[in-house]
Structure 1
Amino acid sequence: MASAFRGASGGFGNQLSDWMPTLKTADAGILPDLQMGSARADDLVKNHGYASGAVQLHVDNIVGSHFRLSYKPNWRSLGISEQDSRAMAADVESAWKEHAEDPVGCYLDAERKRTFTMMAREVVATHVNLGEAMASAEWISRSGSLFKTAIKMVSPKRVSNPLGVPDSERLRGGVEQDRYSSAIAYHVLNPRYGIGESLNGFNSGGWRRVPRETRWGRQQFIHIFEPREDGQTRAATQFMAVMEQLFMIDKLQMTKLQNAVVSAMYAAVIESELDSQTAHDMILGASTGGGNVQQGLTNMLAFSGQFHQGANVKMNGVKIPHLFPGESLNLKTPGNADNGFADLESAILRYTAAGMNMSYEQLARDYSKVNYSSARASMMESWRYFIGRRKVIPARFGASVFSLWFEEAIQRGYLTLPRKAKYNFYERKSAWCNTEWIGTGRLAIDGLKEVKEAVLRIESGLSTYEKELATMGEDYQEVFSQQVREAEERKTAGLPPPSWAQVTRFNETVEPEEQNPQTQGKAA
């Protein structure tokens, strides 16, 4: 016992003795509660401001307004020259952008509602909400479209075991698997609208079996998630670890709002100094000659009311209450104790931000207590997470969609492989479909400092224009081409060329770093 880990034993004071969790596989821990967790996360995103904002933060920081293709065929393994690969990349990127980002036709989307960037944004939003994203490859002939490849977005809520059969070794969570836990096919529920709201269960629709790929290797179903353990079939929502806290902070805010409404109320009452016996005698004796008590009370209140109506004393237009003898005016307001609400809310939001892998300032939209250095450190920590997510989630989705489109473009002759290539598309599919994806740029808190940093890295040989412009969300080739065109147009118009020498002046300007307002007094 002396050599054992205290975390695995009873702990200090034997306080861990009742903590006995069960060791389970990933599927055993996720699949039994998958539907309930997804339903609760879905409800949070619909009705909770912070949850909805967290999803939107992921979408805007990972994808942004344009998810741009940077085609990079592995020209060394394909046996072509770098010059040929660049020429081919220019043609491929142009053809892809024309088809994938068509805002009118939207032919790449089977539903014709989304451009490719919109699909990528939906993939990220769905992955945050439900822990995974899914889509199927369709073959649709439509007038006006050069290509038949179309992508049908599939909600993970629709993938389940047919007729609600229990999970087994080869069928778990609606996914057929082989003995290596590799997916073979997916069962997608097509609900019968109007019969019931549930997406899983008996008599709620028909299941369509979609194979993962065809016999010749063309992908038919796209399933994007980041597994944490071996044999994991499905993924849980990202809100699972913070769901209880988010749910309770909503209740806490609503309770505080009701308290604020009640606290805004007041009541003005007139108190009398008459004791109970005197008031009783006055009421009973208010009516003489055998009248009843009710009539005596009425006469007394009427007399008091006439007095208050006649006592109309004003000073400079302001009425001064002149009370009946023995009365006093009191203003009643309920208590309004804060009870540490702001600190409790901040603590819950910090816990939630840590669980969602973002900074508290981003989630709460509160930058009032940080200086430049703190804000930038927080932003860079979140940016590293967002870049990793971009590579794992939307970039994988983009690579799958691009591979499907590129295969058709090659087979139908819209694109031509270099004649000197050693291998055809199917012999080196991965090399021909090697892609990079450029999303939104990194937020610049101080634009001048960010530019100076980028210039210094390039001049010192620690970075390249491609990397720095990609960090800004731009393609360096497009920027260089535009600069050449602008220089030619300035020359034609008789304007002087742009002065790039000003870039070197950035190093001469040294600005004092912002200080936290809370520490300025100490520094002084």
Structure 2
Amino acid sequence: MPNLIDRVIGWVNPHAGIARHFARKQLERAYEAASPRDTWRPRRAGASANADHQADAKTLRVKARALVQNVPYCCAALKGLATATVGTGIVPRATGQEKDTINKLFAEWSKVCDADGRYDYFGMVKAAYAAMEQDGEVLVRLRPRRPTDGLPVPLQLQLLEIDWLDDTRTGTNGNNQIINGIEYDALGAVAAYYLWDQHPGDANTIRGRKMQSTRVSAQFIIHLYNPERPGQGRGFTRFAPVIARVRDLQLYEDAELARKNLETRLSVLASGDMSGMENPASLGGAAPEQGGGVRDLGELGGGGIVGMPAGMNFTVVEPKAVPGHVEYVKYQVHIIATGLGVPYEMVTGDMSGVNFSSARVRGLDFRREVQQIQWLVLIPKLARPIHEAFIEAAYLAGKIRGRDMAVDFSPPKWDYVNPEQDVKADQAEIAAGLSTLSEKLRQRGYDPDVVFDEWASDLKKLKERGILDTMLFLQRGNMPTPTAEQNTNATKE
């Protein structure tokens, strides 16, 4: 609407009035959310990912750990993510010229790769992934060993919580810049990490001892996190979007529990002449004060018959149950599960609202999310660097002839929702040329070369022992028809 000044200018100079009108239109917002009338102002608007991390990440990490430790469905969500993403292990298989030697050497090394002696290789990958999701990031330190230590390959891995990183270190080191405990060179590449000499939260820390952080070259550190913003140098916990909602839900459940306790108690208010009542002290209660207006008349035994004085009135206090508790909690847990990126059924075990179609659709969506983490984060930022460090250590120790880094990774296979239909669909795709047998094997977590070698070996053994025809009969349901040559030989005999 034009104001008084606009109308006056338009009456004196219509062209100027029209110009003011169009100029005012240009100031209007194309997005309603950008309107000055919107009072919402995000905190730290325009801050970088590293600035947000420095301000909030430690608090979020501590709260996320508390949720996993104390809230059942948060604990179940983390375990479900680790089970789906890592399972029993993401298996590396060398594919180069020395693949047999490397694979055998890795199998031996994987049993003793943990510098702390707590995990094998696959257990360490699982623990690292779980720590990344819970804390937002985790460190794996490469520990070169001496050839005399008796290891298959002179290398071990040390899994460190992100607390080991001295995030108070900020400044410069020559031309390099230090941000949140990580040193970057002039091109922005990570040059080093500053690590405490022990865990800052360790109960065995000597009082009064000043802890020191040491510079460790980046070539000995694998920093596992999932960067979500360009330039992000540190990770945030997966639980960050749901921490406040989980806290509110826990407060609601505590209040509901207190109300339920009150509902189970039946109270009676008595009024009138109580002079004829027996002294409560004789019933085990406290004797009333002289002249007191409120008296405890004692407890009423089950199945008892008690005579009451004439003229006494009774009022029963019976709290009424408030409906809707289960539905509200389910609704909130649905939102929390969505924020964590896991199916509701995984965090609760509640399958009451699931049918085959909904389970399949949600399962496929969850599978894509898990595969994204596997192939875009876990394999390139953890599994592959470990394998390359293993190859380098094996080469330097003279265990292999060359630095053959060629490797393929097999994540855990997915179980079928409907095995019969899924297998038939895969067979139809292969028959129509829409996929290959090798691709279908890879989708199930198998190495095609290993499967084909096993098939060749099995068929050779069956043929040598003369039971291949029997196996074909069991598969097809009929015995193979003898050829004319076989009939002729049988007649001659």
TM range (shorter): 0.7 to 0.9
Q: Summarize the Cα distance change of 1:499–1:131 in structure 2 as closer, same or farther, 3 Å threshold.
A: farther
Q: 1:137 to 1:45 in 2, by over 3 A?
A: same
Q: Distance in 1 between matches of 2:161 and 2:366?
A: 27
1:26 corresponds, among 44, 49, 69, to 49
| Matched AA of 2:49 | A
The answer to whether the Cα contact below 8 Å between 1:38 and 1:157 also exists between their aligned partners in 2 is no
| Alpha-carbon distance, 1:95 to partner | 2.3
AA partner of residue 420 (structure 2): L
Aligned to 2:78: 55
1:522 corresponding residue in structure 2: none
Shift of the alpha carbon at 1:227?
A: 2.2
Aligned residues of 1:71 and 1:93 also touching (Cα < 8 A) = yes
- Unmatched segments (≥5 aa) in structure 2: 1-26, 279-286, 292-296, 478-493
CA contact 1:160–1:189 (8 Å) conserved in 2: yes
Corresponding residue to 1:337 among 317, 322, 329: 322
Separation of aligned partners in 1, 2:263 and 2:70:
26
Residues of 2 paired with 1:64 and 1:467: CA distance? 21
Paired residues for 1:193-232 under 5 Å: 203=209, 205-213=211-219, 220-232=220-232
Shift in alpha-carbon separation, 1:208–1:91, aligned structure 2, 3 A: same
For residues 307-330 of structure 1, what are the alpha-carbon distances to aligned partners after superposition, in whole Å with 9 as ceiling and x for unaligned? x99xxxxxxxx9695755757998
CA distance in 2, matches of 1:50, 1:368: 17
Does the CA contact (< 8 Å) of 1:62 and 1:387 recur in 2?
yes
Distance 1:52 1:251 in 2: 18
The CA distance in 1 between the partners of 2:439 and 2:143, in whole Å, is: 35
Aligned partners of 1:195, 1:28: CA distance in 2, in Å? 27
- Long gaps (5+) in structure 1: 74-84, 214-219, 285-292, 298-303, 310-317, 418-424, 426-431, 504-524
Equivalent residue runs for 1:54-453 within 5 Å: 54-73=77-96, 85=97, 88-100=98-110, 102=111, 106=112, 108-141=113-146, 143-161=149-167, 164-166=168-170, 170-191=177-198, 203=209, 205-213=211-219, 220-266=220-266, 276=272, 279=274, 321=305, 323=307, 326=310, 333-338=318-323, 340-396=324-380, 397-417=382-402, 425=403, 432-453=404-425
**Structure 1 stretch displaced more, 324-333 or 134-143:** 324-333
- CA shift in 2, pair 1:26/1:283, >3 Å: closer
Shift of 1:5: 1.5
* 2:30 maps to 1:7: no
Give a deviation string over 1:108-166, Cα, whole Å, max 9, x none: 111122111111101210110111221111112364422111111121111014xx455
User: Structure 2 CA distance, aligned partners of 1:467 and 1:23?
Assistant: 45
In 2: Cα distance, 1:89 partner to 1:320 partner: 85
CA distance in 1, matches of 2:61, 2:303: 62
State the distance in 1 between where 2:237 and 2:171 align.
20
The secondary structure found in structure 1 opposite 2:212 is: strand
Q: Measure how far apart 1:49 and its partner are.
A: 1.4
Question: Partner letter of residue 458 of structure 1?
Answer: I
Deviation string, structure 1 residues 464-487 (Cα, Å, up to 9, x no partner): 333323333333333333444444
CA distance in 2 between counterparts of 1:328 and 1:192 reads 68
CA distance in 1, matches of 2:67, 2:308: 57
Percent identity over the alignment?
Answer: 18
**How big is the shift at 1:232?**
2.1
1:274-293 alpha-carbon deviations (Å, 9 max, x no partner): x73x555x579xxxxxxxx9
CA contact 1:158–1:188 (8 Å) conserved in 2: yes
Q: Note the alpha carbon deviations across 1:361-418, whole angstroms, 9 max, x for none.
A: 323322221221111111111111100101133212111111111112223332234x
Say whether the 8 Å CA contact 1:136–1:222 is kept in structure 2.
yes
CA offset at residue 175 of structure 1?
0.4
TM-score normalized by structure 1? Answer: 0.72
Q: Match of 1:191, SS? A: coil
When the two structures are aligned, how many residues end up with a matched partner?
A: 427
Letter in 1 for 2:244: E
Distance 1:237 1:203, change over 3 A: farther
Task: Tell me whether 370-379 or 480-489 shows the greater mean CA deviation.
Answer: 480-489
- Aligned: 1:470 with 2:480: no
Change (3 A) 1:499 1:442: farther
Superposition deviation, residue 348 in structure 1:
2.0
* SS of equivalent to 1:51: helix
- Return the alpha-carbon distance in structure 2 between the equivalents of residues 224 and 26 of structure 1: 16
- Cα pair distance change 1:195/1:129, threshold 3 Å: closer
Question: CA separation of 1:454/1:189 partners in 2, compared to 1, >3 Å: closer, same or farther?
Answer: same
2:451 pairs, out of 476, 479, 488, with: 479
Q: Deviations over 1:236-263 (max 9, x none)?
A: 1111111111222233333333333443
Following the alignment from structure 1 to structure 2, what is the Cα–Cα distance between the partners of residues 352 and 177? 36
Q: How much is the aligned-residue C-alpha RMSD, in angstroms?
A: 3.7
Aligned AA (2:351): Y
> TM-score with structure 2 length normalisation?
0.76
> 1:191·1:204 contact (CA, 8 Å) conserved in 2?
no
